[in-house]
Structure 1
Amino acid sequence: MFVLKLITEALLASPLITHEKSDSRPVVFWHGMGDTYNSSAMQRVFSALHSVKPELSIYSVYIDEDQSKDQQASLIGNVNEQVEIVCDQLNSIIELQDQKFDFIGFSQGGIFARAAIERCGLNVNNLITFGSPHSGVSDLPRCSDSDWFCKQKNALLKRQVWKKNIQNSIVSAQYFRDPLDYESYLENSAFLVDVNNELPNEKNETYIENLESLNKLVLIMFGQDETVVPKESAWFYDQDKQTGDTINFPNTEYYTKDLLGLKKLFDERKIDYLTIDDVHMAIGDDFLKKVTETYLGH
C-alpha cells in the first residue's frame, strides 16, 4: 500500500507532512484512467489537501507498485479483480480498520471506490467522486468533427464492446451502459450491471446496506465534460430507455426501485451535488481546498 508520507525524501522534509499519529480521519484516493497512484497530478492534489489540513494521513491505492504498470492497469485489466486487490490493500492497513476514513475517486476511480465499499464493507465515512460515470457511459468520448480516425476507432470499439474478452480486459468497456440498448447491457456487462444492482431478480442487499452506511455521498460533475457521456452520469442521473432524454435522480430506478440504498441517502439529504464549470478533471486548487475544509478529516 502506498502511503503519501513515504513518497519521496523531498516530501518527507516538507512541513506539510506530519509524522505524528493523527486523530483526523485518513483519506484514501483512487486515481483515474491513464493516471498513476503517485503521479505529479496526484501529488498536486495531496499537497492541496495538506495545505489546509497538514495532519491528514493520505493513502493512494494502486494495482501495481510499478507506476507504468499501474497506469496500464487503468486502461487494460479486469475491474472485478482490481477491486478485490484494492480491498485487500485497504483491509491490511491497521489505521483504516481502527477508524472511519474518507474515500475520493477521480473519474472511473470513483465507480471503483464505490464498488469496493459495496463489496468489501469498507469503513468509509464520506465518498467523494469527481466526474465519475456512476450510471455508466452511453458513448465514447466525443471526437472533433474533423477527426475521422477518432470516429472510426470509436465506431469499432462500440461494435465490439459486449464481447466477453473485451468486457474482461478493456477497463472503460466494463462501465459502458447504453440505455437505448439496455438488454445487451443486462446480458453482457461484466462489472457495472452488478455494481449498480441492476440484474433482474438478483438484488444484492449487502450493497444497499453498505452504501446506506455512508455519512455523505458527494457527487461532482464537470459542466463542460465531453469525456463522460452523458456528463450527468456523475450525478447518478440516467437516460430514458426509449428517448435517451436525461432523467434526474429522483425519477431514476436507482431511486424509485431503491437499487443501491441511495434513496435513503437522498431522503436524508446525505447526497451533495456539486459542479465544476470546466472540462473533465480540470480541478483547481481552490476547489480541492474547499472540499478538504468541508468534507475531510473531521
Structure 2
Amino acid sequence: MAEGSMERKCAFLLCVLMIYSCSAYRPVVVIHGVWDLRFSLDFLADMIQEEHPGTEVHVIDLLHGWKSLAPLWYQVKTFYAKILPIMQKAENGIILIGYSQGGVLSRGIIESMDHNITRFISLSSPQAGQYGDEFLRLIFPQYIKETAYELFYSKMGQSISVGNYWNDPHHQELYYKYSNYLPYLNNEVDGSYKKDYRKNFLKLEHLILIGGPDDGVITPWQSSHFAYFDENENVTEMRDQYYYRTDTFGLRTLDKAGKVTIYEVPGVIHTFWHHNVTVIQKCILPWLN
C-alpha cells in the first residue's frame, strides 16, 4: 500500500508541475506584416505551442492584403481593440511579436495605448524607417525610392501605411513636416503625448530586435535594429541616432538597463523569418516565459 500510495503522490505532483509549467507561459500575441495572408504566421504559432505546450498564442486575424495598407494609426486602434481582452485576462502580462510592418504597428500600440506588454519581439521590422526599391516593387512598382517621397509626403500619401514609416534621408524636412506616425513614435515632434509615449515604452521588461543582412526587403536592413541611413546613405548605428542619444522615447534607458537584445542573423530572406526554425528556436522561444 505504501509503495502504491507513493506512486500516486509522485504522479499527482508531476501533474501539478506540468500544469504549473504550462500556465507559467504568458500569452503570446502575433501581428502580421503588410500584404500578409491570413495563415502566413501559423507556422510560428504552431512551433511556439509545440515547444511550449499550453501557451496561448493569438495570431491577430485582421486587415490582410490590401487592408494592410490602411493608415497605421487606424490599424493601431483596430488591433488594440482585439488585443485588449487578451491583456485584461493576463495577470502577468503578454508577449507581443510584430513581424515586418507589424513591428512598427506594435510600437504604436505599446507607446500610445495603456498596456501590460512585458516583452516585445520585433521580427525584421523597419523600426527606424524604410527607404528601398525592393520594398516599393512589392506594392508600388511605378515608383522608385528617389521619387516615392512625392507620394508619401502628402496628405494622400499619409493615408497609406507604408507612407507612415517611409523615411527618405534626402528629404528630412518633408519627412518631419508630413509624416504623421514614425517621427511621433520617436518623440522627435513636439506634442502633449510625449511623456505618455515614453512612459508606456518603458513598461517593457525587454525589447528583442531581430534582423539580418540578407533580408532583401527592409532597407537598410539595420533599420530592424533602430539604425538608419544618414544623408549620404551611410548607415548610422542605433546608439548614434539622435533619438537614442537624447533618449526621446526611452530606447537608451532600456538599453543601458540591459533590456535590449539584438540578433543579427545572416542567410534569411524577408519572407522566411517566421518560417525559419533556427530563428524561432534561438531568437524567439527563449523569451517566451
- Report the TM range for the smaller structure's normalisation: 0.7 to 0.9
Alignment-derived partner of residue 123 in structure 1? 116
Greater mean deviation of Cα atoms: 193-202 or 82-91: 193-202
Counterparts of 1:235-246 in structure 2 under 5 Å?
235-240=225-230, 242-246=231-235
Q: 2:79 aligned with 1:71, yes or no?
A: no
Residue 200 of structure 1, CA deviation = 4.3
Identity across aligned pairs (percent)? 24
Q: How does 1:10-89 map to 2 (within 5 A)?
A: 22-36=23-37, 38-39=38-39, 41-64=40-63, 70-74=64-68, 76-89=69-82
Q: Displacement, 1:97?
A: 4.5
Match of 2:278 in 1: 286
Secondary structure class of the residue paired with 2:210: strand
Out of 264, 287, 292, the position equivalent to 2:253 is 264
Q: 1:96 to 1:232 in 2, by over 3 A?
A: farther
Is 1:249 paired with 2:238?
yes
- Pick from 168, 171, 182: which aligns with 2:161? 171
The more displaced of 287-296 and 196-205 is 196-205
Whole-angstrom distance in 2 between the partners of 1:142 and 1:29: 22
Aligned-partner residue type, residue 55 of structure 2: L
Distance change in 2, residues 1:48/1:32 (3 Å): same
| Bigger Cα Rg | 2
Question: Displacement of 1:86 after TM fit?
Answer: 1.3
Please give the alpha-carbon distance, in whole angstroms, between the structure 2 residues aligned to 1:143 and 1:117. 27
Number of equivalences: 264
Shift of 1:95: 5.2
Distance verdict in 2 for CA 1:292–1:180, change over 3 Å = closer
Q: Which residue of 2 aligns with 1:218?
A: 208
Q: In structure 2, what is the Cα distance between the partners aligned to 1:280 and 1:23?
A: 32
Give SS of 2:153's match: coil
C-alpha RMSD of matched pairs (Å):
2.4
CA contact 1:91–1:97 (8 Å) conserved in 2 = no
8 Å Cα contact 2:87-2:115 kept in structure 1:
no
The CA distance in 2 between the partners of 1:121 and 1:202, in whole Å, is 16
Counterpart check, 1:159 vs 2:150:
yes
Q: Which moved more, 1:24-33 or 1:84-93?
A: 84-93
Deviation at 1:104, TM superposition (A): 0.3
* Contact 1:50 1:56 (C-alpha < 8 Å) held by counterparts: yes
Q: 2:34 corresponds to which letter in structure 1?
A: M
Using the TM superposition, give the Cα deviation of residue 46 of structure 1 relative to its aligned residue in structure 2, in angstroms.
Answer: 1.0
Distance in 2 between residues matched to 1:225 and 1:78, nearest whole Å: 25
Rate the CA distance shift 1:250–1:143 in 2: closer, same or farther, 3 A: closer
